Amino acid sequence: MAVPERRDRGLWGPQGEMHWLQQQLQHTLNPWGQGGDGFTPLADLEESDDAYCVEVELPGVDKDDVSVDLAGRRLIVVGERKERERVGILRSRTRSTGRFHYEVTLPGEADEEGVEANLDSGVLTVRLPKAARERRRQIKVR
């Protein structure tokens, strides 16, 4: 009977091997997945009559570690979730750390001057008012 040995991956036995295999598969299928290359945070895009609202989940991220850019109709959010100091051995990891990148193409044009971004309780909310020509307007029938 083989004695389980500690590997560089930090987990022992079949559970550790499966975890390592899962991480390798995620990295192959999605280079922005978990690991040193970064990750893509979860996000929602909502449209109202006068604006687009994007909410990006960024728990544990400081506002100074986030950059929000608007290029035409593309909203780009990049930054970093820093690893915290640990005492002892990390036995399991499912939370993503490191660089992140989120990009979405808006359904229509936004008014660049009115864009607002706010990070509160781990959720980045970006409100993008629609350009005047994109807004729905009521036309009175005579």
Residue range 86-133, pLDDT digits in tens: 888 888 888 888 899 999 999 999 999 999 999 999 999 999 999 988
What are 66's strand-pairing partners? 79
Tally of structural domains, the chain: 1
Tell which residue, 80, 118, 76, has the closest CA to residue 96: 80
- pLDDT, one tens digit per residue, over 35-70 is 445 788 999 999 999 999 999 999 999 999 999 999
Token pair in block for residue 19? 């975890």
H-run or E-run covering 123: strand 123-129
Residue 22 lies in a domain: no
DSSP, collapsed to helix, strand or coil, labels residue 128 as strand
Residue 83 lies in a domain: yes
* Amino acid of residue 45: L
At 99, which CATH number? 2.60.40.790
Residue 141 lies in a domain: no
Residue in the structure block whose two tokens are 């051995």: 89
Residue 118 lies in a domain: yes
Residue 7 lies in a domain: no
Residue 16 lies in a domain: no
Residue 23 is predicted with a pLDDT of 64
Domain region containing 99: 41-133
Residue 3 lies in a domain: no
Distance CA 103, CA 116 (A): 17
Query: What are the backbone dihedrals phi and psi of residue 20, each rounded to the nearest 5 degrees, phi first?
Result: -65, -45
Distance CA 97, CA 95 (A): 7
Residue 89 lies in a domain: yes
Residue 130 is predicted with a pLDDT of 94
* Amino acid of residue 124: L
Q: Given a cut of 60, is residue 34 above it in pLDDT?
A: no
pTM score above 0.85: no
- pLDDT, one tens digit per residue, over 76-89 is 999 999 988 888 88
Residue 72 neighbours by CB distance under 10 Å: 10
Tell which residue, 97, 106, 6, has the closest CA to residue 51: 106
- pLDDT, one tens digit per residue, over 7-27 is 444 556 676 677 667 766 765
